[in-house]
Structure 1
């Protein structure tokens, strides 16, 4: 859990992902299209990926990926992020975290 918190606070937007996950790809693309360069941790390419995955599940992320953190705070998985994007809240969160300038 400490490792997740440390990684999540290293950049304005952090995404825990798996390289073979379609929803992870869609969420990463959403952020790129917003002009955000998130830190991305591919759990299937990390030697300690399984323990990070368990920590994310303990946070309430089920499935464990994609897991999005903005400003060091857990936002949620794909459904939550898409809902925030569609209702306009995501852009404000990104601005407040310093990930967007406009």
Structure 2
């Protein structure tokens, strides 16, 4: 769990993802279209991917599958539903600016 928190806090926007997950792809695309370059950890391509997924579940990132798990400014924001809700109500952009992930 400490490893996940450390990885999540090293960059302004961190996404734990799986390369074959369509919701993960949609969330990554949303951020790219906002002009943000997230740090992405494809847990299905990591040696310790299962360990990371278990840690995400323990952190409250949902039941399996625990991705996409989005961290902004080192804090867990949520999964796809939460991120899309924040985007639609306009608060996602402010969170990204406050974390230093977006400069516009």
Which TM-score bucket, shorter chain as reference?
over 0.9
- TM-score w.r.t. length of structure 2: 0.96
Unpaired runs of 5+ residues, structure 2, are: none
Unaligned runs of 5+ in 1: none
Q: CA deviation at 1:60?
A: 1.5
Q: Which residue of 2 aligns with 1:40?
A: 40
Q: Give the TM-score normalised by the residue count of structure 1.
A: 0.98
- Structure 1 residue ranges (4+ consecutive) displaced by more than 4 angstroms after TM superposition: none
| CA-to-aligned-CA distance 1:7-65 (integer Å, 9 cap, x gap) | 00111000000000000000000000000000000000000010110111112112300
Q: Secondary structure at the match of 1:40?
A: strand
1:79 matched to 2:76: no
| Aligned equivalents of 2:75, 2:61: Cα separation in 1 | 13
Say if 2:101 is the partner of 1:99: yes
Counterpart of 2:24 in 1: which secondary structure?
helix
Figure out how many residues of one structure are paired with residues of the other and give that number. 102
CA separation in 1, counterparts of 2:61 and 2:7? Answer: 16
1:27 aligns with 2:27: yes
